[in-house]
Amino acid sequence: MSGFHGLFIPGPTNLPFGVRQAMDVPLEDHRAPDFPAFTLPLFRDLKTAFRTEKGQVFVFPSSGTGGWESAISNTLSPGDRVLIGVFGQFSHLWADLCRRHGLIVDVVDVEWGEGVPLDEYARRLQADKAHTIKAVMVCHNETATGVTSDVAGVRKALDAAKHPALLMVDGVSSIASIDFRLDEWGVDVAVSGSQKGFMLPAGLALVAVSPKALEAHKSARCPRCFFDFADMIRTNKDGYFPYTPATTLLRGLRGSLDMLFAEGLDNVFARHHRLAESVRRGVAAWGLALCAKEPKWYSDTVSAVCVPKTFNSDDVVKAAYHRYRLSLGTGLSKVAGRVFRIGHLGHVNELMVLQALAGCEMALRDVGIAVEAGSGVAAAEEYIRATAPTVQLGKVA
């Protein structure tokens, strides 16, 4: 079948041709004498992507879940207490992973569609005079609900309480797409994955850690082997890995970072915001609502769209896929059947977003949801035109 399949799930995202080319290389010797000439600059540039000068970034052949596991197993011990807000499927899964490692998990249950409750975090941290909470966890961007939380606000709460807990961030669907600042925000561990803002296939967990987290590693007692920071530190300093790395993905990561830096990180974030806002304008024109309850929670990488109560959102996803070759994200767990998700992150531009909205409109109408043909596309078009760069247009004589 001709043309491209429309991939608008919140990960894996579209693979740029330049990144694909970067991975189209013969397999190589990962212990070759000249391998560090490639890896050492890569390690340095990853620090730029996480906006850290003081920290260190580890690259594991894994998924984001492996990144979560490395974060807690290298810095905490069984019986340690952690504070985490649960407001979607992925924050829920991170809390579950903590329990499986023998941690005591203080959960702040939040309505799905909202984010980290800063006031409640602040209250609990102020009340913890004995500093029994060893880590505070934040899902920066909850992919299941299209909600972004205020990481810098959590750091302010920690500082106001003079609390020494580590600040850990799940940035799997935010880093390289939404503004993130490890050093400035005082983040101790940040986890991302290759298949979202970094525009790669799944298979790499990217974990940035602060000097404070590296110090905590020395006394952490959670079992670890494959994800041990110590093995990475020992070998990474010379440009190597403690085991066979995913060299092809590393070559792609080099291509991805080159693309991100050529555009400029601030421009990347601005593009994501602009395209996300065009989607939100389209959703509003349909007469539908987002799962995110307020604008302060709106995500710039994924929009979870609520369908009317008498409809099943899975039907919209199936119609889009089978009739129009458009992949949308399904609703997960508590919002299963209630929302479909439009991923608008990574290698995406204005016309691609309009393509997604057009496919959504047709699928919505196919299942009987009363949407005016072209309404969402038109609303997005007007916003895109109003915010597009100004060009000097010549007149034809």
3-state secondary structure the chain: CCCCCEEECCCCCCCCHHHHHHHCCCCCCCCCCCCHHHHHHHHHHHHHHCCCCCCEEEEEECCHHHHHHHHHHCCCCCCCEEEEEECCHHHHHHHHHHHHCCCEEEEEECCECECCCHHHHHHHHHHCCCCCEEEEEEECEECCCCEECCHHHHHHHHHHCCCCCEEEEECCCCCCCCCCCCCCCCCCEEEEECCCCCCCCCCEEEEEECHHHHHHHCCCCCCCCCCCHHHHHHHHCCCCCCCCCCHHHHHHHHHHHHHHHHHCHHHHHHHHHHHHHHHHHHHHHHCCCECCCCHHHECCCEEEEECCCCCCHHHHHHHHHHHHCEEEECCCHHHCCCEEEEECCCCCCHHHHHHHHHHHHHHHHHCCCCCCCCHHHHHHHHHHHHHCCCCCCCCCC
Express as a percent the part of the chain with pLDDT over 90.
97
Q: Average pLDDT, stretch 59-69?
A: 97
pLDDT on residue 394: 76
pLDDT on residue 2: 87
How much is the pTM?
0.96
Domain edges within the chain: 6-11+264-387, 17-262
Q: Average pLDDT, stretch 255-280?
A: 98
pLDDT band at 392 (very low <50, low <70, confident <90, very high): confident
As a CATH number, domain 17-262 is: 3.40.640.10
pLDDT band at 396 (very low <50, low <70, confident <90, very high): low
- pLDDT over 80 at 266, yes or no: yes
pLDDT on residue 257: 98
- pLDDT over 60 at 349, yes or no: yes
Mean predicted lDDT score pLDDT of the chain: 97
Tens digit of each residue's pLDDT (9 = 90 or more) over 113-147: 999 999 999 999 999 999 999 999 999 999 999 99
pLDDT on residue 175: 98
Identify the CATH class of 6-11+264-387.
Answer: alpha beta
- pLDDT over 60 at 286, yes or no: yes
Express as a percent the part of the chain with pLDDT over 70.
99
- pLDDT over 70 at 174, yes or no: yes
- pLDDT over 90 at 393, yes or no: no
pLDDT band at 397 (very low <50, low <70, confident <90, very high): low
Q: Average pLDDT, stretch 366-385?
A: 98
Q: Average pLDDT, stretch 24-51?
A: 98
- pLDDT over 70 at 363, yes or no: yes
